[in-house]
């Protein structure tokens, strides 16, 4: 690419499109493919990530193409705004190298992130991404607790649901139409909950020491290491914390019969979200429907973080005007 040679052997399995996308091009010059907007727009992150795999240079550093390659990495690209601008809302934007210099990747991140102050929001949305995991805590026990295998939500929630539903069906006379309708309403409510949490909580701006740390633990880390397979699904304990008000509120507002029907739909929506999220990050979808989900979400990660918030389905992206087709660029989305 641009006169540089890369060994991407270790990246084959981590490539968002899967190894089969890369294999036909091994040993070839892919400069034109990387820059072809019709086939796929590669983000600044793609060029930045390549730096870790460079093993040789065919052209001199003064070569015009090589300079263009550096521009792809260093440019102050602004998401959902003019990409050629060096300012955002009147504020000077730091270059990628300045943002990367804010952290030492070899040390635990959380104390460093807390000390970033108002630079954190710009840093976490500047794609300072790695294709592997990062260390958050010095303490190994705490570090272990930040990770969650993909199957744990299923193992945790399905037995709970089965036990509750077993008691429910033994005590309530079921109206199938009503039960199904309320359950569907629970699924739709999950989509709204997922969208709202992702947009207004997970992407809320932060500048305080503890605010930065809490945001990074909840969601910021996922934008730093989107290919870390142990930090994709939502761990059961924080899931319980977020879901508890919904659980209590549904039973109080809807009563026992409708409340648990609603909660069943909500749980189905949540588990579908977690499994969809894992699949589009860690697997190569074979169906067009799942590929569509993956394409939308990849665009959110690597191009424009303030759009395409819906992961299970973009229903509320349509409703609130934050859906961006992946072929679109430079679209400004209102907050």
Tell me the pLDDT tens digit for each residue of 87-124.
555 566 777 778 878 888 888 889 999 999 999 988 88
In the prediction, which pLDDT does 87 show?
A: 53
CA atoms within 13 A on the CB side of 219: 20
Report the phi/psi class of residue 10: left, alpha or beta, with left for phi > 0 and alpha for psi in -120 to 50: alpha
The answer to whether the beta carbons of residues 15 and 22 sit under 8 Å apart is yes
| Tokens of residue 44, six digits | 């600044």
Whether the pLDDT of residue 158 is over 70: the answer is yes
**54-82 residue pLDDT tens:** 667 775 555 544 444 444 444 333 333 33
The answer to whether the beta carbons of residues 14 and 45 sit under 8 Å apart is no
In the prediction, which pLDDT does 78 show?
A: 37
**211-233 residue pLDDT tens:** 999 999 999 988 888 888 899 99
Backbone angles phi, psi at 87, to 5 degrees: -130, 155
d(CA 159, CA 200) in angstroms, rounded, equals 31
Band of the pLDDT at 189, cuts 50, 70, 90? Answer: very high
Band of the pLDDT at 38, cuts 50, 70, 90? Answer: low
d(CA 218, CA 21) in angstroms, rounded, equals 32
């Amino acid at each position: 690419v641009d006169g540089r040679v890369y060994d991407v052997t270790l990246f084959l399995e981590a490539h968002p499109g899967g190894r089969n996308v890369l294999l036909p091009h091994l040993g070839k010059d892919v400069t034109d493919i990387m820059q072809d907007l019709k086939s796929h727009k590669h983000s600044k992150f793609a060029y930045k990530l390549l730096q870790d795999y460079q093993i040789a240079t065919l052209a001199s550093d003064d070569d015009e193409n090589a300079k263009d390659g550096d521009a792809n990495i260093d440019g102050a690209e602004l998401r959902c705004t003019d990409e050629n601008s060096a300012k955002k809302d009147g504020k000077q934007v730091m270059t990628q190298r300045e943002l990367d210099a804010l952290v030492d990747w070899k040390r635990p991140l959380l104390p460093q992130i807390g000390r970033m102050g108002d630079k954190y929001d710009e840093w976490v949305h500047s794609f300072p991404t790695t294709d592997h995991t990062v260390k958050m805590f010095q303490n190994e026990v705490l570090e272990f607790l930040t990770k969650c295998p993909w199957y744990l939500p299923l193992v945790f929630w399905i037995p709970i649901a089965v036990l509750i539903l077993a008691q429910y069906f033994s005590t309530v006379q079921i109206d199938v139409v009503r039960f199904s309708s309320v359950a569907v309403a629970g699924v739709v409510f999950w989509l709204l909950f997922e969208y709202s949490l992702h947009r207004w909580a997970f992407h809320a701006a932060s500048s305080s020491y503890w605010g930065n740390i809490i945001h990074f633990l909840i969601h910021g880390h996922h934008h730093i290491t989107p290919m870390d397979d142990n930090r994709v699904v939502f761990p059961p304990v924080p899931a319980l914390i977020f879901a508890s008000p919904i659980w209590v509120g549904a039973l109080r507002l809807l009563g026992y019969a409708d409340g648990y029907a609603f909660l069943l739909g909500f749980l189905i929506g949540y588990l579908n979200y977690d499994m969809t999220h894992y699949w589009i990050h860690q697997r190569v979808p074979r169906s067009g429907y799942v590929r569509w989900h993956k394409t939308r979400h990849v665009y959110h990660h690597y191009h424009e973080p303030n759009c395409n918030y819906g992961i299970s389905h973009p229903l509320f992206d349509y409703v609130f005007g934050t859906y961006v087709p992946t072929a679109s660029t430079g679209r400004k989305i209102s907050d």
